[in-house]
Structure 1
Amino acid sequence: MTTEVLRPHAEDEYASELTALVATDDKPRPPAWRLSPAAVVTYLLGGKAGDVEISPKYVGPRRLIEVAVATLATDRALLLLGVPGTAKTWVSEHLAAAISGDSTLLVQGTAGTAEESIRYGWNYAQLIAQGPSEAALVPSPVQRAMTEAKIARIEELTRMPSDVQDALITILSEKALPISELATEVQARKGFNVIATANDRDKGVNELSSALRRRFNTVVLPLPDSAEDEIEIVARRVAQLGSALELPQPDDALEEIRRVVTIFRELRSGRTEDGRTAVKSPSGTLSTAEAISVVTGGIALSAHFGDGVLRPTDVAGGILGAVVKDPSADRVVWSEYLETVVRERDDWAPFYRACREISG
């Protein structure tokens, strides 16, 4: 039976790069940081550490990553904001891995997230048997980050109920977590900070209070500026996912990657890439993350049910599923795009036929 994990944590998957950066990093480091801020930026954006090539984890404006890293070197928490699929979680994980060597101190925000996930909980068997005590206390990931001088990650902060969000205010302003049942508190050690992610596009979003928002420095992660940047991101992540899933890599998937990215960008922007034709936009975000999923799914189809060559028929179904979220309105948008844009591109004829066949 295999013991390999499906998705290693960043600090495990890129351990050799982090080790090389630690060995060659001669710049000042904030308290408890494994790397200097400059080395953290190199880890995120790529570069060299001695003879070791550091692969880029994020493709985007350098200044945004510099601002994010500089924020974490202060007493301000960091809020990564953006539409779904702009690599907020990915950046959060890699920042924590580079700074603390531990990206696992994570709170996942949902409508059902309880305050205990931010503060602390109790082992109720010990609580009933012995009453409140340190032995009965169950620390949250945030409390552990405070005592271990590490970065705590909070995903989808705006999905949490407002009263749970506000449990962060004292932690972020006072750098302390009161434990009233024990008449004591936990004080954060130097090196503690919080990275939160949020978006304002999905349903079920709860606005942050002004008091909480003031405790964060906000960095907005945009969608990729250019088609070439987005193609590079998709190609790199597809290769990484394919390797992790042990999928045979097609000889040349770039043509279909380019097609998927072009379709997503045109439908997002409401205009074809040459600027000549206006198109309607569907209800979904059509993010870079969804493009990665479509191409990876296509590679799985070509590997297991085809000849191993990524073809239009392999990605057509995934694109349809990504675009048509609202069966009535989005299907009209997709049908119009097929007839007014895709059909007119002679070199896209096989893709047009595949889409018409799968769309019925």
Structure 2
Amino acid sequence: MTTDATTTGPGEALRPHAEDAFAGELRALAAADDRPRPERWRLSPRSVATYLLGGTLPDGTVITPKYVGPRRIVEVAVTTLATDRALLLLGVPGTAKTWVSEHLAAAVSGDSTLLVQGTAGTPEEAIRYGWNYARLLAHGPSREALVPSPVMRAMAEGMTARVEELTRIPADVQDTLITVLSEKTLPIPELGQEVQAVRGFNLIATANDRDRGVNELSSALRRRFNTVVLPLPATAEAEVEIVSRRVDQIGGSLDLPPATDGLAEIRRVVTVFRELRDGVTADGRTKLKSPSGTLSTAEAISVVTGGLALAAHFGDGVLRPSDVAAGLLGAVVRDPSADQVVWQEYLEAVVREREGWKDFYRACREVAA
């Protein structure tokens, strides 16, 4: 994606698009890529997988991992995009569905911005097309008066479109995608025309299976997708790595201290999240009650980022227990009546007795008082 003089440059953006933030890596991968590429793809499928999973190129360029998880999951996702089937990334909140979707689109098409954000109020026009009503009233229906959706643009240009939170979109609007995905065409009955998808077009949708207020996909629509389930991190070390990497990326744009300086606290946050999420301590000896929230990796990233901001602006720049305690409380106690009891029991039965966690226990007790 390019920017012009009227837009914010990649170096100034608070959160650059993937194709801007990792432009150097994408250029290096394209230069070293000697494998066949599907029509209009910027990289071969193998290089797209390398971009997501990380690696070292023959010239020594290091490609940083964007996703830490099973390689086969990424390979299946990339291969799906090289076929005529759309890709549905499914998983609990915080399993990097949006993150993977964005990076897949950036690596395949060089543009991750052809995005439809799903909500309960998403209209049909967001997926099909809308109208410039001033031109429509002045001159009647015409292609000049038509406002293409991101999906229509992706079809016409052979790009990758993204639909976030597909199951939050009303069911009748979801089904607008059936013709797009099965016939690879988008009718425009007002003009007696249609837009046919050119080679290179595909669509990535994300959905989570634990959220409230969702609209189940119809069987007809689900058949148009190849579903890939993104799991929670398999091990504590993998989750620590994910949190550390993502916090460093976020902190870099906010001038925060390196996350690696607070690795001990990151490990503690991840341990707390995993134990409460699993309902058992890491050693398997003590069963625990789980709170009402999901305690996802994304929430752990938020807690650590907030802690680093506290350390940078109101401390000595080193992440300490007092910096993450309040964020932890807010993440765990979503339902004040039920979750407060869960948190207190965990503090007294586990945290207080754990060797080396005294400062952490005191900090959590202070904010919970």
Q: TM-score, normalised by structure 2?
A: 0.96
State the Cα deviation string for residues 142-185 of structure 1 (Å, max 9, x = none): 00000110000000000000000000000000000000000010
Which residue, 341, 350, 356 being the options, matches 1:347?
Answer: 356
Q: Secondary structure at the match of 2:357?
A: helix
State the partner residue of 2:211. 202
How far apart in 2 are the matches of 1:243 and 1:310? 16
How far apart in 1 are the matches of 2:259 and 2:231? 30
How far apart in 1 are the matches of 2:118 and 2:44? 30
How far apart in 2 are the matches of 1:135 and 1:226? 54
How far apart in 2 are the matches of 1:80 and 1:358? 37
Which residue, 108, 126, 132 being the options, matches 1:99?
Answer: 108
Query: Is the Cα contact below 8 Å between 1:250 and 1:308 reproduced in 2?
Result: no
* 1:1-360 pair list within 5 angstroms: 4-49=12-57, 50-249=59-258, 252-360=261-369
What is the one-letter code of the residue matched to 1:262?
T
How far apart in 1 are the matches of 2:245 and 2:307? 15
Q: Secondary structure at the match of 2:35?
A: coil
Q: Secondary structure at the match of 2:76?
A: helix
State the Cα deviation string for residues 102-140 of structure 1 (Å, max 9, x = none): 000000000000000000000001111111000000000
What is the one-letter code of the residue matched to 2:29?
L
Q: Which runs of 4+ in 1 moved over 4 A?
A: none
**Residue 249 of structure 1: how far off its partner (Å):** 2.9
How far apart in 2 are the matches of 1:31 and 1:130? 37
State the Cα deviation string for residues 300-359 of structure 1 (Å, max 9, x = none): 001111111111000000000000111111111101101110011131111111111111
Query: Is the Cα contact below 8 Å between 2:115 and 2:161 reproduced in 1?
Result: yes
Gaps of 5+ in 1: none
What is the one-letter code of the residue matched to 1:282?
P
What is the one-letter code of the residue matched to 2:262?
A
* Root-mean-square deviation over aligned CA pairs: 1.0
Q: Secondary structure at the match of 1:121?
A: strand
Q: Secondary structure at the match of 1:185?
A: strand
| Pair 307,204 (structure 1): closer, same or farther in 2 beyond 3 Å | same
How far apart in 2 are the matches of 1:158 and 1:346? 44
- The number of equivalent residue pairs is 359
Identify which range, 46-55 or 61-70, moves more after superposition.
46-55
Query: Is the Cα contact below 8 Å between 1:280 and 1:333 reproduced in 2?
Result: yes
What is the one-letter code of the residue matched to 2:31?
A
**Residue 40 of structure 1: how far off its partner (Å):** 0.3
Query: Is the Cα contact below 8 Å between 2:269 and 2:328 reproduced in 1?
Result: yes
What is the one-letter code of the residue matched to 2:86?
A
Query: Is the Cα contact below 8 Å between 2:247 and 2:259 reproduced in 1?
Result: no
Q: Secondary structure at the match of 1:44?
A: helix
Identity of aligned residues (%): 76
How far apart in 2 are the matches of 1:63 and 1:250? 29
How far apart in 2 are the matches of 1:142 and 1:36? 23
How far apart in 2 are the matches of 1:249 and 1:305? 16
Q: Secondary structure at the match of 1:74?
A: coil
Query: Is the Cα contact below 8 Å between 1:115 and 1:167 reproduced in 2?
Result: yes
Query: Is the Cα contact below 8 Å between 1:250 and 1:309 reproduced in 2?
Result: no
What is the one-letter code of the residue matched to 1:322?
A
Q: Secondary structure at the match of 2:190?
A: helix
Identify which range, 155-164 or 2-11, moves more after superposition.
2-11
Query: Is the Cα contact below 8 Å between 1:251 and 1:309 reproduced in 2?
Result: no
| Pair 250,59 (structure 1): closer, same or farther in 2 beyond 3 Å | closer
Gaps of 5+ in 2: 1-7
Q: Secondary structure at the match of 1:339?
A: helix
How far apart in 2 are the matches of 1:250 and 1:327? 30
Q: Secondary structure at the match of 2:155?
A: helix
